[in-house]
């Protein structure tokens, strides 16, 4: 079963954002095979990398509706209380934030952490610092989504570019209805995704923990906590 799951992950269909890279690599490989041998192997290896990087495996979200799910694969690099991005107009009171770093070997498809309506989407131009740095949340180029829950509470999901990642793609727009675990975008070649929880909702993950986008539970919206501010960074 474990081998089958591993193969299904590696052989998953690619995200459409990867088609230009995969196609270019395949054409270069074909031409290299016909015209000159030395081009073939680099082009072929690039094609394999593009197929692997842009893989988009299916995920099975938990059935409970009051959970916050991981928006991306990767590992947790920071858990603490911070104000949401100013551009989302969600106030400046600190809330719990979970930061997930995506390396080049992780699946880079982003998924909605909750079921709700997209209240706003704001793109912010910025730097391209290493995405595992804490200041990347404030200084790097990013795309922020505010998602309104049915009860009126808000969850923010922020796609953050990194040192290598220079292209953020987001298919969600204000007014869209998203399901928990639904695909809404992708970040190319190493990045980070931050989640800002509603006031009083505490994360249930630890720094260093591995995340599976659309499946790993980050928090329980039905459980609120009045714990004092805590900041933990890898």
Annotated catalytic sites, by residue? 191
Tens of each residue's pLDDT in the chain, 234 residues = 444 444 455 567 888 887 888 898 889 888 888 887 788 888 899 899 889 888 999 999 998 889 999 999 999 999 999 999 999 999 999 999 999 999 888 998 999 999 999 999 999 887 776 666 676 777 788 999 999 999 999 999 999 987 765 688 999 999 999 999 999 999 877 689 999 999 999 999 999 999 999 999 999 999 766 444 445 555
Tally Cβ neighbours within 10 Å of residue 47.
20
Partners of 143 in the β-ladder: 123, 159
Domain ranges of the chain: 2-53, 67-225
Whether 158 contacts 36, CB under 8 Å = no
CATH class of 67-225: mainly beta
Query: Considering the entire predicted model, what is its pTM?
Result: 0.84
């Amino acid at each position: 079963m474990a081998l089958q799951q591993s193969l299904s992950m590696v052989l998953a269909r690619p995200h459409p954002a990867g088609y230009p890279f995969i196609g270019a690599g395949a054409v270069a490989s074909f031409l290299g095979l016909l015209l000159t041998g030395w081009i073939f192997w680099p082009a072929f290896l690039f094609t394999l990398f593009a197929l692997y990087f842009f893989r988009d495996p299916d995920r099975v979200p938990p059935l409970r509706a009051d959970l916050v799910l991981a928006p991306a694969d990767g590992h947790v690099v920071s858990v603490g209380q911070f104000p949401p991005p100013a551009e989302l107009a969600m106030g400046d009171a600190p809330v719990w934030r979970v930061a997930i770093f995506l390396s080049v070997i992780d699946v880079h498809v982003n998924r909605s952490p909750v079921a709700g309506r997209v209240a706003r989407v704001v793109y912010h131009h910025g730097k391209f610092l290493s995405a595992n740095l804490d200041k990347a949340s404030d200084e790097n180029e990013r795309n922020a989504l505010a998602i309104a829950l049915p009860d009126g509470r808000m969850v923010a999901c922020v796609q953050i570019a990194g040192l290598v990642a220079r292209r953020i793609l987001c298919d969600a727009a204000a007014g869209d209805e998203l399901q928990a675990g639904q695909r809404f975008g992708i970040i190319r070649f190493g990045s980070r995704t931050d989640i800002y929880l509603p006031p009083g909702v505490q994360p249930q993950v630890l720094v260093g923990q591995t995340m599976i986008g659309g499946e790993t539970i980050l928090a329980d919206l039905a459980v609120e906590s009045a714990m004092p501010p805590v900041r933990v960074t890898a």
